[in-house]
Amino acid sequence: MMRRGCALAPVMLACCAPPQAAGAPWAGSMELETGLRSQAPGARRDTRASLELGWEGRLGTDWRFKLADRFEHFGGNERRSINTVKDAYLSWNGSAESAIDIGRVNLRQGVATGYNPSDYFRARAVRAIVSVDPEKLRRSRSGTYMVQGQRVWDGGSLSAVLAPRIGHDEDSTNAVARAMLAGSVRLAPDFQPQALLLLEEGAAPQFGLNLSALLGDAVSAHAEWSGGRQRDLLARALDRPGEAAWRNRLAAGATFTAANGLSLTAEYHWCGAALDGAQWAALAQQPGQYWRYRSFVQREQEPPTREAAFAMLLWPDALRPRLDWSAILKRDLQDRSMLLWSELRWRLDRADIALQWTHLRGRSGAQYAAYGERNSWRLMAQWYW
């Protein structure tokens, strides 16, 4: 998993991502993953194979093209294949301070780790749940067709995005037209807040804010907020009338980093458009509406309930050199269900081998007890080139 920076630098768009090494425009990886036992007697083991390819190169002095594609094949009882175009865009860099991108871009925003209220292009972008790790999901999701421009200067940045509606597919990342403005200003050496404005076809404006600051040599704090008038998620999922009211979303927390490289992040999550405890319990008694709602919030990358807690531990070289330990805890504060995930990863020169354990706890119909078995083990191998 990737570790986030401790302080909020300007939230850069994909056009300003670091280029690949000179002379090696192609990059790729292959993953093979299998469950160590079947979930039910007589069932096939769940398996997954993925291939990811990327190319990034210059087409002249000021022009650059980036392509990134991910193909997944899932085995087991429900075999299916999914191809995801993450990036396919042309970039013009007229100077070191400005850039314009045209094409399909996996645009990501936000300073939080477990939930990103201001990541406005996350809806309908995750085509396959391939990991519990939220950062891996963000990196592997589908891009959106858009035109984006950015200007950076010493002490701030300003970016604008225009994404048109294309076709009539409700599951497409371009299902609705959107425009976004994002700007940041450095108010202190370690404090550069970012403000965002989203305009979406058929919806009220949404406002966002990202804050991050160092609280010492080992601790950083962050907060990510979004607010605006909306119908609640249940009304949208069931396509029924609902009152548009101001809904707040928040992810706030802190990260502690020890001298040995271990980092621990803890966050509190709030989604004012999701269900409270009583509403969630009542919905669980209506299976058809329950699963329709869960499918909708997963597509939109929203939590199904109003409050949650999140913690993540990253410890590189934990037990020996090149052996990393990662762990994630997700706790639903409405139904008290829990997900605990842990991974040991052995890093070789051109490959990784990982063993993962997932534990689910909660009553029937709870967020984390409704899917899968209570304890599961998975083995994964990944090769890079």
pLDDT, residue 84, reads 95
**Do 15 and 101 form a contact (C-beta atoms < 8 A)?**
yes
Secondary structure class of 25 (helix, strand, coil): coil
pLDDT, residue 295, reads 95
Q: How far is CA 110 from CA 22, 117, 196, 309, in A?
A: 30, 7, 10, 17
Q: Which helix or strand (DSSP H or E) is residue 320 part of? A: strand 307-320
pLDDT, residue 96, reads 84
pLDDT, residue 263, reads 97
pLDDT, residue 8, reads 37
pLDDT, residue 43, reads 55
The count of C-alpha atoms lying within 13 angstroms of the C-alpha of 354, restricted to the half-sphere facing its C-beta, is 24
Percent of residues in the chain assigned helix, strand, coil, to nearest 5: 10, 50, 40
CA–CA separation, 158 and 312 (whole Å): 31
pTM to 2 decimals?
0.89
Tokens of 378: 């998975």
The count of C-alpha atoms lying within 13 angstroms of the C-alpha of 304, restricted to the half-sphere facing its C-beta, is 28
Tokens of 228: 């605006």
**Do 242 and 293 form a contact (C-beta atoms < 8 A)?**
no
Secondary structure class of 165 (helix, strand, coil): coil
pLDDT, residue 38, reads 56
In the DSSP assignment, the letter for residue 128 is S
pLDDT, residue 365, reads 87
Low-confidence ranges of the chain (pLDDT < 50): 1-22
pLDDT, residue 50, reads 96
In the DSSP assignment, the letter for residue 2 is P
pLDDT, residue 4, reads 36
